[in-house]
Chain A
Amino acid sequence: MSSLWISNVRVIDPACGRDAAGDLFAVDGKIVPDLSSEQRQKAQKIDGSGLVACPGLVDIHVHLREPGQTHKETILTGSQAAAAGGFTSVVCMPNTSPVADTAGTIQFIKDIVQRDAVVKVYPTGCITVGQKGQALAPIGSLKRAGVVAITDDGDCVQNNELMRRAVEYAKMFDLPVMDHCQDTALTHGAVMNEGVMSTRLGLRGWPNCAEDVIVSRNVILSTYTGAHIHLQHISSRNAVEIIRRAKNRGVKITAEATPHHIALTDAALATYDTNFKMNPPLRTEADREEIIAGLRDGTLDCIATDHAPHTDYEKDKEFDFAPNGILGSETALAISLETLVRHHGFKLSHVIDLMTRRPANILHLPAGTLAPGTAADICLFDPEESWTYDAKAGFSKSSNSPWHGRQLKGRVKMTLVDGNVVYDRGAIRAAKP
């Protein structure tokens, strides 16, 4: 029997309505209300003075690149980056090579997760075969193999009939469908938000209406079928309003926002820096503010990073030719605290809720709370510590971050999975949880 005692810590667990100074205990990897005196004597003690203990963070949108793109990231390095960012559960996207559209590939991913991952990794499968948007993938078999959702990731299903059948079919298994909302006919050749900045820079614009059209489509299909559709990385202010109205009518949709869409705008593209290139693109200040308003009033359910590693040499190109995507795992908490708590007056517990209980609930993950009896997945962070982020020194195999070299405030100190310390002040402590 192993016991854990984190003392003198500010425990914030929105799922239990808890925000108070005190102690946190676990026995054999599960949270317990208290320890016996014998357990206290033998317990592994962690001094939590000055720190916040919250449920291990949950990221329902990461790209771990394995199998097939292991030059960018692996399940090992991606899960280490997650641990360093305070995440204990991550959901990986199926756009690997091959794409995860068969039970065999899901099993392969699960085997590597079992062998290498230092946090809990949940796979998703494709909606369509080859992520090509033409024929349904074996959704039932994928579910049986262990996927927590299906999605065609960046290749948004354009055919409305196929999408309708996909959500109808997946509903039978209570399997959420995650959608990257982009009408690709409206975004041909686009590399950044369409507007004043794209006009100045002479870059092809991605109009936010291309997101709004598919968000509306998904609201309509969810209304019609009753299926749960999760809208990924919402970036358009109009989309937020569409979702708000749909939720008021009780439509079964959920939505996420990324740290970069709440912290940055397309003004950052003035120097064509490809570490600010992602899809959907950074948008305007008005969009950014509405995304934050959406998180504030619950229109947007959670924060997810869209952690998307690419090597230096892949990103080091003409803006048009560089791949989309930036790192997110190791900076998400600090950026969210800066943007939401310090600049927009969110309560700390609200931001933690957006990164723990709420994303876990969307995909029914056993995570996101410190309630007794649940897994002792814990993030310990110092909300006041200032530090300089060096993307090259991070745990991700890649370093494509817009925040490289930036001074950040709020730093993850320790991450525990099932009561085991996996990350401890700059070092990965365990090969396995």
Chain B
Amino acid sequence: MPWMRKHLITLEEFSLSEIEQIHQTAAAFKKILGRSVKKVPALRGKTIVNLFLEPSTRTRMAFDMAAKRLSADVISFDAASSSTTKGETLRDTAQNIEALNADMIVIRHAASGSPLYLSKILDIPVINAGDGAHEHPTQGLLDTFTMKEHLGSLKGRKVVILGDVLFSRVARSNIHALTKMGADVTLVGPATLVPHWFTDMGVKVSHDLRSALADAEVVMLLRIQHERQASSHFPSLGEYTSMFGLNKTRASWLNPKAIIMHPGPINRGVEIDSELADGQRSVILEQVTNGIAVRMAALYLCAGGQPEHVVPGETDE
């Protein structure tokens, strides 16, 4: 099936086959990343603008790296240097970027819905690199890609997402991808951060860590986002850790082959014991590496590339 999608805004609107196409394309790009020459000419002559209106390290570096591996020219804007701080509207900023002949825009924004808004204004592809508490589709794609590498098919596999789900765009994108892939998803955390509304999205909600972790094959931890929470969501970081932090004892409740994931940045000793973060079951750094391949796939496909044309070994400079 040819790739038809121009923008990458949400995984909610993705079909299963689109998720699989991204994964297949990412797998092909991942092979290239293992070679001595890690670059393909797929987007040579194209300009990609990273418009990061909210701070980011990992995602921005991964998009930067992905664009460069595809031979695109990359320009990065951030909130501090852009004219949005001078009161320019997002529409005007985006139209200026388009007028500069950019071919694609990657946006990170604190306001949910802003990538969709941009995609309606601009003719060029818009890639969502995280919008508020809404979605972070490339993260959902790289997380499920990583899970598949370890578990194979995710159908019927028990996945636990633990932590601050309410404010998490990572959780939402993973929920959409995982439910489409047939996984059995349980969200766990304090009731104030994991409201029952989520059950409408086809997942279970639990506040009992022990039963939720029992025999789970994946546990995905979410960062406790101090900067987003009003003070009233839980008593203290200490209490959070004592009630919901992942430690050795709790990790022993998992399936023996379970993997531990985290989108980063991690708060060592808060949502996860430092030892577990670095342990054998942790795939946290694999997620980062896979993030480059998945973002290469996203940029490549949305720029008009087709999955079957990625043939590692034939592409070089």
Contact = CB atoms under 8 A, between A and B. Distances in A.
A265 to B, nearest CB: 14
6 contacts: A201-B113, A202-B112, A317-B91, A318-B109, A319-B117, A320-B132
B57 to A, nearest CB: 21
Contacts of B110: 320
B91 A316 contact: yes
A201 B112 contact: yes
B116 A202 contact: no
B90 interface: yes
B112 A196 contact: no
Contacts of B12: 200
B112 A203 contact: yes
A201 B12 CA distance: 10
Contacts of B23: none
B113 A272 contact: yes
A320 B112 contact: yes
A202 B90 contact: no
B230 A188 contact: yes
A196 B90 CA distance: 28
A272 B117 contact: yes
A272 B200 contact: no
B69 interface: no
A199 interface: yes
Contacts of A203: 112-113, 132-134
A189 B228 CA distance: 11
A186 to B, nearest CB: 10
Interface in B167-220: 169, 172, 195, 197-198, 200-201
Contacts of B116: 271-272
Contact of A318 (B90, B135, B195, B200): B90
The 6 closest A-B pairs by CB, nearest first: A202-B134, A272-B113, A202-B133, A318-B111, A199-B197, A202-B112
Contacts of B90: 317-318
Given A199-B200, A199-B201, A320-B110, 19 more contacts: A200-B12, A200-B200, A201-B113, A202-B133, A202-B134, A202-B169, A203-B134, A272-B112, A316-B89, A316-B91, A317-B89, A317-B91, A318-B90, A318-B111, A318-B113, A319-B111, A319-B113, A320-B111, A321-B111
Interface of B: 12, 89-91, 109-114, 116-117, 131-135, 166, 169, 172, 195, 197-198, 200-201, 230
Contacts of A198: 197
- Name the interface size band of chain A: 10 to 19
A430 to B, nearest CB: 39
A193 to B, nearest CB: 11
A319 B109 CA distance: 12
Given A188-B230, A199-B195, A202-B135, A319 B112 contact: yes
Nearest to B200: A196
A318 B84 CA distance: 12
A195 B172 contact: no
Contact of B197 (A195, A271, A313): A195
Interface string A399-429: 0000000000000000000000000000000
A196 B197 contact: yes
Given A316-B89, A316-B91, A200 B201 contact: yes
Contacts of A202: 112, 131-135, 169, 172
A320 B117 CA distance: 12
Contacts of B131: 202
A61 to B, nearest CB: 28
Most buried by A among B90, B112, B132: B112
A28 to B, nearest CB: 53
Contacts of B135: 202
Contacts of A318: 90, 109, 111, 113-114, 117
A195 B197 CA distance: 6
A316 B114 CA distance: 11
Interface string A135-179: 000000000000000000000000000000000000000000000
Contacts of A316: 89, 91
B126 to A, nearest CB: 14
A321 B117 CA distance: 12
B193 to A, nearest CB: 12
Nearest to A271: B116
Interface in A286-331: 313, 316-321
B284 to A, nearest CB: 24
B241 to A, nearest CB: 25
A12 to B, nearest CB: 43
Most buried by A among B109, B113, B201: B113
A394 to B, nearest CB: 23
A144 to B, nearest CB: 42
Interface string A349-388: 0000000000000000000000000000000000000000
B201 to A, nearest CB: 7
A176 B197 CA distance: 39
A198 B111 CA distance: 13
Contacts of B200: 196, 199-200
Contacts of B201: 199-200
A334 to B, nearest CB: 28
Most buried by B among A188, A198, A201, A313: A201
A197 to B, nearest CB: 9
Contacts of B169: 202
A203 B166 CA distance: 10
Contacts of A313: 89
B43 to A, nearest CB: 28
Nearest to B131: A202
Nearest to A203: B112
B65 to A, nearest CB: 27
Nearest to B121: A316
Contacts of B195: 199
A313 B90 CA distance: 11
B291 to A, nearest CB: 21
